[in-house]
């Protein structure tokens, strides 16, 4: 079956507080992760929470990267969603793990917009 996109959901653990709590650093790392994966960056929006934490999204031509951080826990929840065949979401995740200095990452990929062939759709609908 063919899919329209690949969506990697990453749980990023053991990150440095000072990195996850710095909106400029998080934004820079996320934008560069998109570029590292071969994406074309379109829009960038990030917000710093008080007393701590950052949320943001990098809109790419191929979809998006999003993050929510809990610096006090050394944790970040990251989504990397890419459409097409030219951008590899795993390249972005590898870059993020390195730059956030994470102890480990638990990630999984979900195929989005799975399109079954005509004969497969008929078999399922019977």
> Which of 3, 55, 61, 68 is flagged as catalytic?
68
**63 noted as active-site residue:** yes
User: Which of these is catalytic: 15, 63, 64, 93?
Assistant: 63
pLDDT tens digits along 36-89: 999 999 999 999 999 999 999 999 999 999 999 999 999 999 999 999 889 999
Output the pTM of the full model.
Answer: 0.89
83 is catalytic: yes
**Residue pLDDT, tens place only, 75-116:** 999 999 999 889 999 999 999 999 999 999 999 999 999 877
**Residue 92 near residue 123, CB atoms below 8 Å:** no
Catalytic, 64? Answer no
Q: Which of 54, 104, 100, 58 is nearest to 79 (CA)?
A: 58
Delimit the domains of the chain by residue range.
Answer: 5-125
CATH of 5-125 given 3.40.50.720, 3.60.90.10, 3.40.50.2300, 1.10.10.10: 3.60.90.10
Residue-wise burial string across 80-112, b where 16 or more C-beta atoms lie within 10 A, e elsewhere:
bbbbeeebbbebbbbbbbebbebeebebeeeee
């Amino acid at each position: 079956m063919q899919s329209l996109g690949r969506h990697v959901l990453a749980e990023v653990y053991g990150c440095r507080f000072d990195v996850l709590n710095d909106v400029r650093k998080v934004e820079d790392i996320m934008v560069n992760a998109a570029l590292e994966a071969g994406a074309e960056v379109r829009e960038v929006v990030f917000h710093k929470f008080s007393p701590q934490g950052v949320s943001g999204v990098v809109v790419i031509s191929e979809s998006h990267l999003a993050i929510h951080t809990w610096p006090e826990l050394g944790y970040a929840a990251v989504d990397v969603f890419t459409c097409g065949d030219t951008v590899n979401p795993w390249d972005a995740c590898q870059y993020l793990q390195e730059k956030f200095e994470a102890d480990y990452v638990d990630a999984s990929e979900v195929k989005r917009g799975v399109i079954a062939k005509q004969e497969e759709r008929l078999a399922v609908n019977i």
